[in-house]
Structure 1
């Protein structure tokens, strides 16, 4: 069994499904959303995250690096990515925690051990474990195995997905997945390609197929001012969801909490950070979605 590459394990999560949950963030995603608040999850490979404001230029990382990939310039540790092998040794000696290796391999046994540490919270709150990302279905062999183990231990399972995967992967895990969190970001295919980097056709098809198989689905719609909050897209989204069997709909207003992460992994943030709709705008959008006659709320 191959190991999984995991970005983070978040304990005591209350926004990724019912109850108190442990959320496992897998690394790797086929989408490249402009507002992604976990840009370090997009690349499947390990990455070095550098917190420039924490670096004191002490040089301990440079001394530890056997590849000589780090140099101190103007009291700042600069990494030559062409030499760096992402061993993580520099982050281990950084006294200011200015360097962090993102990504860790887990076997299913190791990950299950982490998940079971919080079983008492799941039992008391009707919670469980959520597999998120990135896109967990990119590591389908491991995902299927860990979901089976969770069900064997009676742990509620949620898969948080972009929907961009071959449906055969969904078929492999439906039996072991109690809940799917499913994002619908834009109904216009050209706009979806622009802001997410891929077509939305597969995403829409898979949601319909999941619905036809009576899967338990919470749909989540991020609302980003100037991108998908216009009347046309809202109307088309509502019309599309009328034929989908969903248990709950969450409208998620844009936030810029992940904005600072981009520079830490040498990526450019493409939005201005001012795309959050006002409370009044969200309430108006909520009223429109209420014609779906399902459980709808603003936020996670």
Structure 2
């Protein structure tokens, strides 16, 4: 049974991480090194709260199954980067069945194979796109956005556009409202229509 390191589990989240009542399961580990990381624990060598195998996690979260079923909710995998844990998520789906909604909060900056392996497993995607501008993205995350764009195109080609919410944050010192407008325009041209627009709280704008 696959085991994965977690930084935490948060229960009874209502319409925060997807539809209905959800439990957020946050994985340790991320391919990005964002300047203002929202979950720095996911990068810290000492950040692992607990390691679970799929069966242990299922038993932990199934206590809220009635809430999931009544609200069309389920489990949201975040982190860190949940799509680094494809085997774990696939095995978890086998345990929980098809009635729970599985959502991933992801940067999509992973190999295409990771997306392909979960295409029949994941119901919804909350994608933190940062910014569509390649230079801005690399300056902020430390990586280029080639994987992000390729994976987003792949999901759209697989008719998943309606299951994707893209987060388009204003990141002080890195992009502007006009940059976000441009990112949203490009994403709409690709077929994305659901956006979460907000401003990062950073040490410079507290």
Could you tell me the TM-score, scaled by structure 1's length? 0.63
**What's the CA shift string for 1:103-124, capped at 9, x where partnerless?**
2110100001112111121123
Structure 1 counterpart of 2:171: 224
Structure 2 counterpart of 1:182: 127
Residue correspondences, number: 203
- How far residue 244 of structure 1 moved from its aligned partner, in angstroms, is 2.8
After TM superposition, the structure 1 stretch with the greater mean CA deviation from structure 2, 6-15 or 240-249, is 240-249
Q: Secondary structure at the match of 1:12?
A: strand
Structure 1 counterpart of 2:157: 212
Unmatched runs of 5 consecutive residues or more in structure 2:
none
190, 203, 206: which one aligns with 2:148: 203
> Any residues of structure 2 matched to 1:236-255 within 5 Å, and which?
236-246=182-192, 248-255=194-201
**1-side partners of 2:2 and 2:92: how far apart?**
12
Unmatched runs of 5 consecutive residues or more in structure 1:
48-101, 257-271, 276-300
**2-side partners of 1:230 and 1:18: how far apart?**
27
Structure 2 counterpart of 1:13: 13
Q: Secondary structure at the match of 1:242?
A: helix
Structure 2 counterpart of 1:133: 79
**1-side partners of 2:39 and 2:59: how far apart?**
25
> Any residues of structure 2 matched to 1:1-300 within 5 Å, and which?
1-14=1-14, 15-43=16-44, 45-47=45-47, 102-150=48-96, 152=97, 154-215=99-160, 216-231=163-178, 233-246=179-192, 248-256=194-202, 272-274=203-205
On the 8 A contact 1:185/1:228 being kept in 2, the answer is no
**2-side partners of 1:112 and 1:153: how far apart?**
14
Q: Secondary structure at the match of 2:77?
A: strand
Q: Secondary structure at the match of 2:192?
A: coil
Could you tell me the TM-score, scaled by structure 2's length? 0.90
**2-side partners of 1:217 and 1:251: how far apart?**
14
**1-side partners of 2:34 and 2:95: how far apart?**
32
- How far residue 243 of structure 1 moved from its aligned partner, in angstroms, is 2.8
**1-side partners of 2:113 and 2:78: how far apart?**
19
On the 8 A contact 1:129/1:158 being kept in 2, the answer is yes
After TM superposition, the structure 1 stretch with the greater mean CA deviation from structure 2, 197-206 or 238-247, is 238-247
**2-side partners of 1:247 and 1:107: how far apart?**
36
Aligned Cα RMSD in Å? Answer: 1.8
On the 8 A contact 2:104/2:124 being kept in 1, the answer is yes
Q: Secondary structure at the match of 2:143?
A: coil
State the 4+ residue runs in structure 1 displaced beyond 6 angstroms: none
- How far residue 186 of structure 1 moved from its aligned partner, in angstroms, is 1.6
